[in-house]
Amino acid sequence: MAEIYPELAEDLASIAARGLYRSRRIVSSPQGIVLNVDGRTLLNFCSNDYLGLANHPSVVAAFKHGADRYGVGSGSAHLLCGHSAAHHALEEELAEFTGRERALLFSTGYMANLGIVSALAGRGDTVLEDRLNHASLLDGGLLSAAQFKRYRHADMEHLEANLTRASGRKLIVTDGVFSMDGDLAPLDALSSLARKQNAWLMVDDAHGLGVMGRRGGGILEHYGLGRNDVPILMGTLGKAFGTFGAFVAGSRELIETLIQKARTYIYTTALPPAVAEATRVSLKMAIADHWRREKLAELIRRFSRGAEQLGLTLLPSASAIQPVVIGDSQETMFIGKALLEKGFLVGAIRPPTVPQGSARLRITFSALHEAHHVDRLLEAFEFILAQRPAAKPTID
């Protein structure tokens, strides 16, 4: 196979030349707002640990207790001998939390979305997705063998036009909080349209659950919607809940259908029971600790006000995701590196993750941040913007 390597090397060189090369960093500390990364201590503004629960002592203790009771691995898939009492208890608690009959655990969010979409729609059906949906949702639509249509972001007229031409079972799929823009899906309008067109509606609320709403009920609580408005609700456990894995919540018939047909559920090892035990604790904390959401909202407002004063281009987001749009990939990397040198870890997001010409710094907040952390980040931005070279032509 040696003959393929020169071609791969050329591809990698091309990616690097366009400022799109991805590299990993090595973290040698627990998750939190201060990380040890590649031997350096950095203030973390790129984690999805929105409520600061990933390293909470009670969550860690629950994980250790779960490992003592169940061991490390689950041993097999849920349908063989891998479905533990811890898994089952967490599913029941997630169902209660979301106000639904049943919930079903998946090993990752990506696997959940692939499994849900492909189990509910197939040849002869139609899957309609927001153009800015997460890659896992888009891949689920592509792999389903259904007719796959992408509508313009949050454009109800475009979606309705596609729905009127759709055939078979119609499944509308959307993110709740869009992971790269931080804005919210127009869920009330989507629900009304789905009902009008006799379509199913699925929402991936990975970035809303735990964060939005008084009780952390996510985008549905934000809009005041219930299970009849959004019959298929997917959520992840590795963001606001601080652990790992994902779930879908809905009716008994929905969950039983997924158990029978979702290949990414049937044919994979269950997540470790210790993770389920840790999540049971973090779920309770996420519901009860209103102060985490209140503090997070205040930090977001503080950053937004400061960024506006500096002339930064922010997307309209009231979520914990605050994207600063730079545009050019090379310049985005320059500013990201300059922030790193000043001790701040932020995510530099470039195409193809975001559209051409919209490279950005994806800044995320945690309830563990303090006001002075936000102020230090803004001061660093102010210094770097004053020092940066003249803008170069966009090469995206």
As a dihedral over the C-alpha atoms of residue 312, residue 48, residue 101, residue 125, rounded to 10 degrees, the angle is: 70
Q: Which of 87, 170, 222, 239 is catalytic?
A: 239
Q: Which residues in 257-284 are b (16+ Cβ under 10 Å) and which e?
A: bbeeebebbbebebbbbbbbbbbbbbbe
179 included as an active-site residue: yes
Q: Which residues in 170-191 are b (16+ Cβ under 10 Å) and which e?
A: bbbbbbbbbbbbbbbbbbeebb
Q: Which of 107, 179, 319, 358 is catalytic?
A: 179
User: Residue for token digits 């993110």?
Assistant: 175
Query: Of the candidates 117, 107, 299, which has an alpha carbon nearest to the alpha carbon of residue 202?
Result: 117
28 included as an active-site residue: no
74 included as an active-site residue: no
Contacts of 348 (CB under 8 A, 6+ apart): 332, 333, 335, 336, 359, 360, 361, 362
Contact 73, 373 (CB under 8 A): no
Cis ω for the linkage preceding 351 (within 30 of 0): no
Q: Which of 87, 207, 295, 373 is catalytic?
A: 207
Residue 128's beta-bridge partner residues?
Answer: 149, 172
- Cα–Cα distance for residue pair 221/113, rounded to 1 Å: 21
- Cα–Cα distance for residue pair 93/103, rounded to 1 Å: 8
User: What are the catalytic residues?
Assistant: 179, 207, 239
